[in-house]
Amino acid sequence: MTEPKRPQSAGRRVQGSSLAWKSGLLASSVGGLLLGWALLGQANPVPASTVAEIASPQPRVIVVQVPIPAASNGSQQLVSQSTQPVQANQQAVSSQSASASASPQISMPSMPQKPVFQQPVTRTRGS
Amino acid sequence: MLAEHHFRAMNTEVGVWLWSTSPIAQQALREVEQLFADVESQLSRFRDDSELCRLNARAGQGAVTVSQLLYRVLAQALAAARQTDGIFDPTLLPQLRQAGYDRSFELLADARDDSPLPPAPSGRNGWQQVCLDPAHSTVELPAGVAIDLGGIAKGWTVDRASELLADWGPSLVDAGGDMQARGLPGGESWPVALEDPFHPERDLLTLALADCAVATSTIGKRHWLRNGQRFHHLIDPRTGTSAASDLHTVTALAPSAMEAEVAAKTALLLGTVAGAAWLGKSGNPAILIQHSGQCTSVGQLPLWKRDEQ
């Protein structure tokens, strides 16, 4: 009653070669992905500021650009609101992204210099 | 940037404007007020204790030693008399008193004096008889001659005030219409409106002044009635009484306020034709306004153009 032994070596060889092929395919895919990622990284280097944002996505900063009188200080042109304190570089990143994603920028022409005198300083008077 | 200071001196309103970033510019403006006070205290003919009154009181008594201030202003006044052939004459005080201008105009305007007019002072060209000694700073007035430095002293003070402010920045000094504009505040000229003498609430035009002076002589401000006769303070040395010129007002430009004062007064006394000719010869741009309102302009007036601002 002994069943004849099936030739397993061939089967194992078939199974073993298939596994190796799949492993090779997977390895090459992963390798290609990594290589592509690396090449992509070289072609489009990530700005340091973005790196900072990625490394520290928190806190959330909402930047709202509002019109400012020409005489105001440039540093006040962006009004930021945040629920958490932010570091300078993080705010800079957010400002950058906000500027890029905001509606088309309206470039304000520089205002002509205000004349010193709008009217005569004094009047002649006879003596 | 534009500091200003107003005060009253020499019986008129004085305004001083200074274009400066210095935090102590106000100090310079107060020094100008002090300068006016000092000059007025020495050269006023309405103050009995002034040096000028003391000098006039010693006419006919020999040489009198005077201060450098009085000497300089008197020397300038006599030089102006020479340049105008005596039309501008600082020795007409007796004639001015005779016409009734014997007190400050504020008092004169309120006074009623119907007393008979005294006889006209004798002698003309008194300015030629005044002797100056620069070596000893002395002045000798002949008997009957008295000095009035009113207008020219005011112009002289305006010029000194302008010099005083020169180190601080551009400035405008205005003493009752005698003005000196120095420098360009913010790169612009000083705009000064020319008052319509017949409608003081209106302006005829606006001058753009830079490093020049302007002065206005008029018979429209200081006039009075005496014995039913109308007098004003501009005495014609050729007649010894208030000038009967066809001109009502003359505004003249010159390098200094003192020169502008002399030019305006001389032209008014000479009348339109001779006055315009004299101004043209002396190189003083001016506008001459007759009693009829007709205006004559001499030379190139620097006009302020608002549309260029």
CB B79 within 8 A of CB B163: no
**A114 has a chain B CB within 8 A of its CB:** no
Task: Give the N- to C-terminal CA distance of chain A in Å, as an integer.
Answer: 148
Q: B241: which 2 tokens?
A: 């009484």
Range of weakest confidence among A39-53, A112-126, B42-56, B136-150: A39-53
Contacts of B154 by beta carbon, 8 Å cutoff, 6+ apart: A127, B10, B12, B175, B176, B178, B257, B261
pLDDT of A82 higher than 90: no
Grade residue B290 by pLDDT with cuts at 50, 70 and 90: very high
Phi/psi for B99 (5° steps) reads -75, -10
Q: For chain B, which residues make up each domain, given as ranges? A: 2-304
Q: Identify residue B185 by its one-letter amino acid code.
A: P
User: Omega of the bond prior to A59 within 30 degrees of 0, cis?
Assistant: yes
Question: Would you call B197 and A126 a contact, using CB atoms and an 8 Å cutoff?
Answer: yes
Closest chain A C-alpha to B262 CA, distance in angstroms: 12
pLDDT tens across A48-80, in order?
A: 333 333 344 443 433 333 333 343 333 333 333
> Which pLDDT score, from 0 to 100, does residue A80 have?
34
Q: Which residue of B has its CA nearest to A115?
A: B309
Sorting pLDDT into bands at 50, 70 and 90, what band is A117? Answer: very high
Q: Point out the least confidently predicted range of A27-36, A38-47, A67-76, B162-171.
A: A67-76
pLDDT tier at A36, thresholds 50, 70, 90: low
Please report where in the chains the tokens 């403006």 appear, as a residue.
B29
Q: How much is the mean pLDDT over chain B?
A: 92
Q: Of A115, A25, A78, A73, nearest to B191 (Cα)? A: A115
- Contact predicate B205/B198, CB 8 Å: no
Supply the pLDDT for residue B82.
Answer: 97
DSSP category for residue B197: T
0.95 exceeded by the pTM?
no
Interval A92-113: pLDDT, tens: 333 333 344 444 555 555 555 7
A93 vs B143, more confident: B143
Does residue A116 belong to the interface with chain B, where contact is any CB pair within 8 Å? yes
DSSP state of B308: G
Contact between chains at B195 and A124 (C-beta distance less than 8 A): yes
Q: Interface of chain B against chain A, CB under 8 Å?
A: 2, 12, 15, 17, 19, 151, 154, 172, 174, 176-179, 185-188, 190-195, 197, 203, 206-207, 214-218, 220-222, 249, 251, 304, 309
Out of B179, B186, B194, the one facing A116 most closely (by C-beta) is B186
- Round to whole Å and give the CA distance between B123 and B100: 19
Amino acid at B141: L
Look up the ipTM and state it.
0.88
CA distance B189 to chain A (A): 9
Segment A28-53 shows an average pLDDT of 53
CB proximity A126 to B under 8 Å: yes
Distance in angstroms (rounded) separating the CA atoms of residues B138 and B63: 6
Q: Tens digit of pLDDT for each residue in B232-288?
A: 889 999 998 889 999 999 999 999 999 999 999 999 999 999 999 999 999 999 999
Which of B17, B151, B177 lies at the smallest CB-CB distance from A121?
A: B17
Domain covering B2-304 in this structure, CATH number:
3.10.520.10
Question: What pLDDT is recorded for position B210?
Answer: 97
Contacts of A115 in chain B (CB under 8 A): 186, 188, 309
Q: Which residue has the higher pLDDT, A41 or A17?
A: A17
Nearest CA in chain A to B191: A120
The residues pairing with A123 across neighbouring beta strands, listed in sequence order, are B193
Contacts of A112 in chain B (CB under 8 A): none
**Which distant-in-sequence residues (6+ apart) come within 8 Å of B306 by Cβ?**
B206
Instruction: Assess whether pLDDT exceeds 80 at residue B83.
Output: yes
Q: What is the pLDDT of residue B123?
A: 54
Question: Both tokens of residue B195?
Answer: 């008052």
Q: In angstroms, rounded to a whole number, what is the distance separating the alpha carbons of residues B59 and B162? A: 33
Among residues B129, B106, B141, B124, which one has the least CA distance to residue B235? B124
Contacts of B34 (CB under 8 A, 6+ apart): none
In angstroms, what separates the C-alpha of A107 from chain B's closest C-alpha?
A: 25
Query: Among A27-36, B41-50, B196-205, which stretch is predicted with the lowest mean pLDDT?
Result: A27-36
Asked if B193's CB is within 8 angstroms of A123's CB, the reply is yes
